[in-house]
Structure 1
């Protein structure tokens, strides 16, 4: 009887772990354009005035994003679902897919830039996170705070990760913390990515890449060089590069 009880407890523990190491996270990604423009010191006065007029007092732009994950892989994409206030917007959805294989230590990211589709294929390089002592609740989970900087885009990024979901995955192109990342804050709230719903379930083909990926293949170093060159060009033109480049 005692042996049966021990076996039942072991099987129960395995089942609980299986239920929390695979599933999907829904995020809301909000960009505050006026705040971003005010931070970009190289923008011309004319450009700032034009953008202020265009947003007409409503500068928070929301999109929904989705992260599929298990203990070995993750896939992050923009959702087809639109916030209610953006129902009338009928813009074309660009190619965007961030794919991580932690077991094989590889990435395959697909994105569109200036009308061209690129496929980044490379090995994963561990991000240089600094873990801090702060904690807060996100989507029902107690999360710890971590920080990293992006020198190319001049960003300070704060992440909140759930230690009770001990997986490497996260939204955007960020990963590598000892817990699933449930919130990102880029440059003091200029862009926020916040988990609204977490569903633990068995995935089917959600993590699978299309059999044929169309686009120009590059590596991570080439992608960084592209970003640096493009940001320099737009800085010289006194324009916001993040109209065309994901912030």
Structure 2
């Protein structure tokens, strides 16, 4: 039965090029960090320390943020749903860090604006999609039948699982992930450490919402120099017994 569904989904992917030409809209995601799981992977911590962290946090280890993906057939922009972050109780708020990922699929280029390590970086380079492996698995994500694809972040040594919607045939996705024949509606990093799930999908004109800020300030990087920066930071943090992911995206 699963194999039959897989073939049907592939047929639908090939039958939707006309729809792709006019489709645009906004996907809202809930982005969740599970910090006790992330800490359990830090090799400098003893098992006793990991158990103590898990016991201390219990089920209250989640950090949640609303994100949005604006998309058209040729472009996408992923960023915070609001400039202000607010606690679940509403008792306090803060300014969100700079975080915008813009892709131009027609020009095969991208601009990523990330505030991390105490400064803002602007990563400009050509598009380079992850090497995905599409598997014979499907599930429903927010009312859309999605297929599973997997890849690996070789810099952070992370397993990536993405569920993409065959009825939204645009090669967009959250965070730094894209390149599948449908929008990624759920992204799972390291088997539940960090999960991003679509909570709302609106097909509508995106207007200026997809545009980059008129003024972009920050230190310019390429993909190669960004990966070198991240790799060095993780290595130095682990040697110093610090969690590297407090100051960079997971």
TM class, shorter-chain normalised?
0.7 to 0.9
Q: Which moved more, 1:85-94 or 1:228-237?
A: 85-94
Name the structure 2 match of 1:177: 180
Name the structure 1 match of 2:102: 99
Of 129, 134, 142, which residue of structure 1 is paired with 2:132? 129
The structure with more radius of gyration: 1
CA apart distance, 1:100: 0.3
Runs of 4+ in 1 over 6 A off after TM superposition: none
Tell me how far apart the structure 2 counterparts of residues 78 and 55 of structure 1 sit (CA, whole Å): 26
Tell me the TM-score normalised to structure 2 length.
0.86
- What secondary structure, in the 3-state scheme, does the structure 2 residue paired with 1:205 have? helix
Distance 1:137 1:52, change over 3 A: closer
Residues 33-91 of structure 1, C-alpha deviations (whole Å, 9 max, x = no match): 00111122223679758855874651011111000001000000012275772522423
Of 138, 153, 162, which residue of structure 1 is paired with 2:156? 153
Query: Cα RMSD (Å) of the superposition?
Result: 2.3
Q: Is the 8 A contact 1:20 1:165 kept in 2?
A: no
Tell me the TM-score normalised to structure 1 length.
0.87
The total of aligned residue pairs comes to 233
Consecutive unaligned residues in structure 2, runs of 5 or more: 1-15
Q: Is the 8 A contact 1:136 1:144 kept in 2?
A: yes
**Structure-to-structure mapping, 1:1-247, within 5 angstroms:** 17=19, 21-43=23-45, 48=50, 55=57, 57-80=59-82, 85-247=88-250
Q: Is the 8 A contact 1:185 1:193 kept in 2?
A: yes
Consecutive unaligned residues in structure 1, runs of 5 or more: 1-13
Residues 84-104 of structure 1, C-alpha deviations (whole Å, 9 max, x = no match): 725224233110000000000
Tell me how far apart the structure 2 counterparts of residues 82 and 177 of structure 1 sit (CA, whole Å): 30
